[in-house]
Structure 1
Amino acid sequence: MRRLAGVGTRFLIVGGLSTLIEVGAFNLFVYAFGWNLVVAKIAASLVALINAYIGNREWAFKDRDRRGRVAEILLFLAVNLICTGLGAGIVWLGAELVQGSTGRAPGPALVNIVNLASIAIIVVVRFFLYHYVVFRRTPKPAPVSPAD
């Protein structure tokens, strides 16, 4: 449990930095460049993804098995593609719910609340997928008994 807490703490630190990168990029894309919310969410997630891979591979999960960089990156990208799609869906749904209940598009404060809520949900999903799929430990072989 102590080891899991250490990995989880390092994961959250890397995730916190990646979140700052993602939120900054998201706001830049939406409010400076006028991008669509979903497109901005996807693009911002991809920008933060670079930091997330390096931080998680080289620090948070540094003691995990290395199955080969290409396979690991492909798994990392697949997990993040799923999580990015889920995050974009949450942002879209949140914006639609606000617009449906108020009759107008959500302002910057509500958009950012919805975006942060999507990030919080995705953090939990991402941790378990990184821990058990992307940066997993190879199970140790069972000890051979003398009778075998």
Structure 2
Amino acid sequence: MDLVRRLYDRFASLVHELAKFGSVGAIAFVIDLGLLNLCSVVLDLGPLTSKVAATTVSTTFAYAGNRFWTFRHREQSGLRREYFLFFLLNGIALLFGMLTIGFTTYTLNLHDTLSLNIANIIGVGLGTLFRYWSYKKWVFLEATAPIPLELPETGVRQDR
């Protein structure tokens, strides 16, 4: 039992961070999948254009969720810098989805909705591995000083 406790103590922050990252990612995935199908099936935009549109919207949601919830305990190195890097790295991760969808549609010649969705799921899975690693490495940096859980006293009195 002592071993389990020590393992939990050692990896608790990582487990919590992964759970939050996964929750934000799951919601972003639903947004991505829904918009991909809306753009592709209903609006008939084409599979790659639909993927870019869906990823743009889901990435915006994911940035807000990860910045203000998943990685809020990490150093904040500037909204512009983080936002730029976040979208740059998501652009790289988008390539995984574009390659799997492009391969499925244009090489395997599978144009049905099920094949599009399976290719999208594979691409999102590969992209997620890259995104988690790259966000921790370049976007949401480790705090150089402990970040307080509560806001510091400002000395300004608020009358009710």
What TM bracket, shorter-length normalisation? Answer: 0.7 to 0.9
Does the aligned pair in 1 maintain the 2:97–2:119 contact within 8 Å?
A: no
Following TM superposition, by how much is the alpha carbon of 1:136 offset from its aligned partner in structure 2, in angstroms?
A: 1.6
Amino acid at match of 1:98: L
Q: Which residue does 2:158 correspond to in 1? A: none
Following TM superposition, by how much is the alpha carbon of 1:60 offset from its aligned partner in structure 2, in angstroms?
A: 0.6
Q: Which residue does 2:26 correspond to in 1? A: 16
Q: Distance in 2 between matches of 1:74 and 1:47?
A: 15
Following TM superposition, by how much is the alpha carbon of 1:31 offset from its aligned partner in structure 2, in angstroms?
A: 0.5
Q: Distance in 1 between matches of 2:118 and 2:61?
A: 23
Amino acid at match of 2:125: A
Does the aligned pair in 1 maintain the 2:75–2:144 contact within 8 Å?
A: no
The one of 75, 99, 103 equivalent to 1:65 is: 75
1:112 aligned to 2:122?
Answer: no
Percent identical residues: 25
Q: Distance in 2 between matches of 1:94 and 1:129?
A: 27
Q: Distance in 1 between matches of 2:66 and 2:89?
A: 13
> Tell me, what secondary structure is at the counterpart of 1:67?
coil
Amino acid at match of 1:14: V
Q: Which residue does 1:146 correspond to in 2? A: none
Does the aligned pair in 1 maintain the 2:36–2:51 contact within 8 Å?
A: yes
Q: Which residue does 1:42 correspond to in 2? A: 52
Q: Which residue does 1:145 correspond to in 2? A: none
Coordinate RMSD, CA, aligned: 1.4
The one of 127, 131, 149 equivalent to 1:126 is: 131
Q: Distance in 1 between matches of 2:105 and 2:126?
A: 16
Runs ≥4 in structure 1, deviation > 4 angstroms? none
Q: Distance in 2 between matches of 1:85 and 1:113?
A: 16
Amino acid at match of 1:42: V
Deviations 1:12-42 (A, max 9, x none): 1000000000000000000011011111101
Q: Distance in 1 between matches of 2:71 and 2:129?
A: 16
How many residues are matched?
135
Following TM superposition, by how much is the alpha carbon of 1:85 offset from its aligned partner in structure 2, in angstroms?
A: 2.4
Q: Where does structure 1 lack aligned partners over 5 or more consecutive residues? A: 100-104, 141-148
Following TM superposition, by how much is the alpha carbon of 1:98 offset from its aligned partner in structure 2, in angstroms?
A: 2.7
Q: Which residue does 2:140 correspond to in 1? A: 135
Following TM superposition, by how much is the alpha carbon of 1:139 offset from its aligned partner in structure 2, in angstroms?
A: 5.3
1:28 aligned to 2:38?
Answer: yes
Q: Distance in 1 between matches of 2:12 and 2:100?
A: 32
- Which is greater in Rg? 2
